[in-house]
Amino acid sequence: MTVTVATTPYDDQKPGTSGLRKKVPHFQQPNYVENFVQSIFDSLEGFAGQTLVLGGDGRFYNREVVQIVLRMAAANGFGRVLVGQGGILSTPAASNVIRRYGAFGGIILSASHNPGGPHEDFGIKYNIGNGGPAPEKVTDAIFARSMTIDRYLTIEAADVDIDTIGETALGGMTVQVIDSVADYAALMETLFDFDAIRTLIGSGFRVLFDAMSAVTGPYAAEIIGRRLGAGEAAVLHATPLPDFGGHHPDPNLVHAKDLYDRLMAPDAPDFGAASDGDGDRNLIIGKGIFITPSDSLAMLAANAHLAPGYAKGLKGIARSMPTSGAADRVADALGIPLYETPTGWKFFGTLLDAGLATICGEESAGTGSDHVREKDGLWAVLLWLNILAARRESVAEIATAHWARYGRNYYARHDYEGVDSAAADALMAELRAGLGSLPGSTVAGLAVVSADDFAYTDPVDGSTATKQGVRIGFEGGSRIVFRLSGTGTSGATLRVYIERYEPPTGDLAQETPIGLAPLIAAAEAVAGIARHTGRTEPDVVT
């Protein structure tokens, strides 16, 4: 029944920050999906008879690719595939299923916060047995294999019913359709004080969660709506749609503007939150106050001991390099180590496995802990709710007290999207070439004290990553970071990360754009963004 199909390589199957992402028509080219999936299997060893986890964020093409992967997994010798009902698993839920059932690994179908639909984005990502994204040595091997692949294996079989929970035989393999939410919800109950949160909500505290027509709908409806008693109306856009209702499922102030406006209104709920396409990001907005993801990481770390799952304290905190230094001050105060990693969750896995870090975060609205090996949007929301239930203060009160103790890292990220790739490369090359002469110079009136291209050596396995972002440090601790996105599907996206530290004795209540204005001018002066890209304004500010 196994069929060997001849194929020829595509030369563009290099996984980026988080898997392979392309437009749907690109994935629909003959054998494009098959080549990549076979390249994953060909780079792995020892999976015969083992379990694979499979699910995605429900975007357009999800169901078709589930069937392709199932047939190929059977032909390649897996013993069992655990597939989320309807092909649905959020990224953190998939990570949990891999760990809970001791699976060999998992394939997650998602392009995260990128739009979905017949002409929008699709993605495929491989996660290893610890539940986390494949490290670079694995993704490099997958890419190398994709460049020489000449055949893939599949079986001739009808589509499997993935909508009914239960087991089906497929060739010599078993396909087990599992409830997409149950294991994840059970894990959350072990970490958080659901009774205390239920009591808070029962006392009139109002929660609004925007699932953005993406994968977290069913998870939030079950956990926030039912188990925590917030009711159906507390979850907006709760049904996952193949095109996310035509929106970007990106939880930031641009794409979740409705939610933001509702939280800024006079009759606002007490707490608003949103997640992205695949459920691993989070947006936190209190009544009248937006919490930047970098601040959220710091505030969660400072208060995590209030949740039962973290009552024993944290072993360490890890953050991606462009994330603000707010968490560093919390780590200092707690007397625990702070790890600074390149962008992308795959760099946190070794630290979590080795027990060096308990909580991790990225400025791009990703926060998580050692409960899984992915960032986890709903986890962050529940930890916030647990902290709010324990402290019985508002989000604004918690933030204000945090800044008064630790100082405030004013922070913004400016994204220039769909930039010509050659122009973006030229901008970065020019910056890199000028690094040596920057320290000691003055840019737009600000004194530069350091300039480098971030390189990382993993403290656990010694693996290295270079060219992870140009960072320029100024007198007083301010910083600008430049890097190119590794998740986009058209042209280049330039990300400029801007940060300024204000000590507890300083002005802690400025509007962020005003607090950052001198640095924004310095970014333009040092990088020549307008000269290279023709852009005078960023497309998205988060």
Q: Which residues participate in catalysis according to the annotation?
A: 112
Cβ nearer to Co ion, comparing 136 with 278: 278
**Interface with ligand VG1 (CB under 6 A), residue from 71, 113, 255, 329:** 113
Using the CB atoms, write b or e for 462-481: b if 16+ within 10 Å: eeebeebbbbbbbeeebbbb
The pairing of beta strand 317-320 with beta strand 338-341 = parallel
Least spacing, CB of residue 113 vs Co ion, in Å: 5
**Window of 43-51, 75-83, 272-280, 415-423 that interacts with Co ion by CB under 5 A:** 272-280
Determine the 3-state secondary structure of 176 from DSSP.
Answer: strand
Structure tokens at 310: 């973290």
The answer to whether residue 362 forms part of the interface with ligand VG1 (CB under 6 A) is yes
CA distance 338 to 357: 8
**Considering the complex, what minimum distance in angstroms separates the CB of residue 429 from ligand VG1?**
18
> What's the min distance (Å) between Cβ of 260 and Co ion?
19
Per CB under 6 A, which of residues 275..294 are in contact with ligand VG1? 276, 280-281
Dihedral (C-alpha) 27, 30, 34, 35: value to the nearest 10 degrees?
A: -90
**Residue 337 touches which of Co ion, ligand VG1, none (CB < 5 to 8 A by kind)?**
none
The helix/strand/coil state of 273 is: strand
Tokens encoding 361:
């975060």
Cα gap 417→353, rounded to integer Å: 35
For residue 529, the SS3 value is helix
By CB under 5 A, residue 278 contacts Co ion = yes
Figure out which of the listed residues 62, 112, 127, 292 binds ligand VG1, where binding follows CB under 6 A. 112
541 closest CA partner among 431, 403, 410, 355: 410
Which of 35, 487, 533, 542 touches ligand VG1 by CB under 6 A? 487
Q: Which of the listed partners (ligand VG1, Co ion, none) does 139 bind, with a CB threshold of 5 to 8 Å by partner kind?
A: none
Residue 349 interacts with ligand VG1 (CB under 6 A): yes or no: no
Closest to 494 (Cα-Cα) out of 435, 429, 434: 429
Site string for Co ion, 65-104 (x = CB under 5 A): ----------------------------------------
What is the CA angle 490-496-498, rounded to 5? Answer: 155
Interface with ligand VG1 (CB under 6 A), residue total 18
The phi-psi region of residue 366 (left if phi > 0; otherwise alpha if psi is between -120 and 50; otherwise beta) is: beta
Please answer whether residues 383 and 484 qualify as being in contact, where contact means their C-beta atoms are separated by less than 8 angstroms: no
> Using an 8 Å Cβ cutoff, are 274 and 266 in contact?
no
Residue 495 interface partner, choices ligand VG1, Co ion, none, CB cut-off 5-8 Å depending on type: ligand VG1
- Least distance to Co ion from the beta carbon of 277, Å? 6
Regarding 486 and contact with ligand VG1 (CB under 6 A), the answer is: yes
Q: Using CB under 5 A, which residues numbered 102 to 131 contact Co ion?
A: 112
Cβ 94 vs Cβ 53: under 8 Å: yes
Which residue number, 60 or 152, has a Cβ lying nearer to ligand VG1? 60
List contacts with ligand VG1 (CB under 6 A): 17-18, 112-113, 276, 280-281, 320, 343-345, 362, 364, 366, 485-487, 495
List contacts with Co ion (CB under 5 A): 112, 276, 278, 280-281
